[in-house]
């Protein structure tokens, strides 16, 4: 069976999230189907930050949401702390979800403009029936302080009085207040200036250490993903291209697409101004993805076999896996 493979799954007691053969499809009218995520598998260890990187439309958000069962996947399995999430319903699912929180790309629009900051942050607490009153007020203040906001100043204000970076801090506080195990961060800094982006990335690293969090960090910029991740998955059109520790991924990118992602990042030093080639063309439609390797229509290394045989993830270095028939600097050649 052609799939994206499972060679990279880890056999460890520390596996907190395990996703196997995840498929997410959406109806696209006239009987057609959007193949948003097509048979991907991965795991996340407790305390780890898993980075998901790839261009717009490759299925990063869909994958993140599928972990939360928002919506639950077309097929495949998602286990969280050993519990099969796809089989849960109603109340049980809602309880599990509080242990996983999500923050999004657009911090301003994900906050209710009519509510005060303290109420926004306390939202989850009151829904989950903690004793309202001093306990929750203390918890809210403590969390606001943790994300670098002064409760005295911000508590009674409304979101429009804050900058994008401050709104993202409020979103992070709202997620943290429930004491989650996992936070899924879906492009949390893509809408922010570089200077504010650095503040938020540092904050996420601090919060992870302070609260022992496990993070799934989604972005399209590999430099950003590399900065916070322990393991990175490169995605393309609903499939996985490469899985590796971030430093190895940068030093020895094996998949041609990973190389392109690296070359696309602007070089902030004119003295070594880059004149690398940009990726050719556009990402194909997920309604009718290319046969074989989905990257073949834009790949500089493409050969005939790429149209007929889907490459499967295989190990090429310590913790380093690639799904490609003709990777860069490949030590071994595939034989299907």
Ligand X SMILES: Nc1ncnc2c1ncn2[C@@H]1O[C@H](COP(=O)(O)OP(=O)(O)O)[C@@H](O)[C@H]1O
Q: Among ligand X, ligand SF4, Mg ion, none, what does residue 256 contact (CB within 5–8 Å per kind)?
A: ligand SF4
The piece of 50-58, 74-82, 83-91, 104-112 that touches ligand X (CB under 6 A) is: 50-58
Examine residue 313 and tell whether it contacts ligand SF4 (CB under 6 A): no
Helix axes 117-127, 164-176, angle to 10 degrees: 20
Interface with other proteins in residues 276-315 (CB under 8 A):
278-279, 281-283
| Neighbour-count burial for 96-134, b at 16+ CB within 10 Å, e otherwise | bbeebbbbbbbbbebbeeeeebbebbbebbeeeeeeeee
CB of 189 to Mg ion, least distance (A): 13
Parallel, antiparallel, or unpaired: how do β-strands 320-322 and 239-244 relate?
Answer: antiparallel
Neighbours of 209 (CB within 10 A): 10
Judged by CB under 6 A, the residue of 2, 7, 14, 56 near ligand X is 56
Q: Which of residues 246-285 bind ligand SF4 (CB under 6 A)?
A: 255-256
In the list ligand SF4, other proteins, Mg ion, none, the entry touching 3 (Cβ below 5 to 8 angstroms by class) is none
Among 61, 72, 229, 258, binds ligand X (CB under 6 A): 61
CA quadruple 32, 36, 38, 44: dihedral, nearest 10? -160
Task: Please select the residue that binds ligand X; options are 3, 21, 26, 302, rule is CB under 6 A.
Answer: 26
Work out whether the CA dihedral 53, 57, 58, 64 comes out positive or negative.
positive
State how far the alpha carbon of 275 is from the alpha carbons of 87, 100, 251, 271, in Å.
51, 42, 19, 12
Which one of 59, 72, 296, 312 is in contact with ligand SF4 (CB under 6 A)?
296
| Least distance to ligand X, CB of residue 33, Å | 9
| Direct distance between the N- and C-terminal alpha carbons of the chain, in angstroms, rounded to an integer | 11
- Helices and strands: H and E segment counts in the chain: 11, 12
Which residue from 38, 101, 197, 258 is in contact with other proteins, where contact means CB under 8 A?
Answer: 197
> Is residue 125 within 8 Å of 173, Cβ to Cβ?
no
Q: Which of 273, 318, 333, 335 binds other proteins (CB under 8 A)?
A: 273
Which of 9, 23, 198, 330 contacts other proteins by CB under 8 A?
A: 198
Q: Does 62 bind ligand X (CB under 6 A)?
A: yes
Answer for which of 202, 291, 303, 308 binds other proteins (CB under 8 A) is: 202
Our finding on whether 26 is near other proteins (CB under 8 A) is: no
Q: In this structure, what DSSP letter does residue 74 have?
A: S
- CB-CB contact of 37 with 63 (8 Å): yes
SS3 330: coil
The one among 186, 229, 235, 326 contacting other proteins by CB under 8 A: 229
The footprint of ligand X on residues 283-322 (CB under 6 A) is 286
Minimum separation from the CB atom of position 313 to other proteins (A): 21
Judged by the rule CB under 8 A, the positions of this chain that interact with other proteins are 55-56, 147-148, 163-166, 193-199, 201-203, 205-206, 220-224, 226-230, 245-247, 250, 260-271, 273-274, 278-279, 281-283
């Amino acid at each position: 069976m052609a799939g994206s493979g499972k060679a990279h799954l880890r056999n460890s007691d520390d596996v907190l999230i395990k996703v196997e053969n995840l498929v997410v499809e959406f109806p696209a009218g006239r009987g057609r189907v959007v193949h948003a995520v097509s048979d991907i598998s991965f795991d996340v260890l407790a305390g780890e930050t898993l980075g998901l990187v790839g261009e717009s439309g490759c299925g990063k958000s869909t994958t993140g949401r599928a972990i939360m069962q928002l919506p639950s996947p077309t097929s495949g399995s998602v286990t969280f702390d050993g519990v099969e999430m796809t089989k849960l319903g109603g109340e049980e699912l809602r309880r599990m979800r509080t242990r996983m929180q999500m923050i999004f790309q657009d911090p301003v629009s994900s906050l209710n403009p009519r509510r005060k900051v303290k109420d926004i942050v306390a939202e989850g607490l009151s829904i989950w029936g903690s004793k309202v009153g001093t306990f929750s007020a203390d918890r809210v203040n403590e969390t606001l302080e943790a994300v670098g906001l002064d409760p005295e100043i911000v508590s009674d204000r409304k979101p429009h009085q804050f900058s994008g970076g401050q709104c993202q801090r409020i979103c992070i506080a709202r997620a943290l207040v429930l004491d989650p195990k996992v936070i899924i961060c879906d492009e949390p800094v893509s809408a922010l200036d570089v200077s504010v982006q650095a503040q938020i990335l540092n904050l996420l690293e601090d919060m992870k250490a302070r609260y022992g969090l496990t993070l799934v960090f989604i972005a399209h910029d590999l430099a950003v993903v590399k900065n916070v991740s322990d393991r990175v998955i490169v995605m393309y059109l609903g499939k996985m291209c490469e899985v590796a520790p971030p430093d190895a991924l940068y030093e020895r990118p094996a998949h041609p697409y990973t190389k392109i992602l690296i070359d696309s990042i602007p070089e902030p030093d004119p003295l070594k101004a880059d004149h690398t080639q940009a990726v050719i063309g556009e990402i194909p439609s997920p309604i009718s993805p290319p046969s074989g390797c989905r990257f073949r229509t834009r790949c500089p290394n493409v050969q005939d076999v790429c149209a007929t045989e889907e490459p499967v993830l295989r190990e090429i270095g310590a913790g380093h896996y690639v799904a490609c028939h003709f990777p860069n600097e490949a030590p071994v050649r595939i034989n299907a």
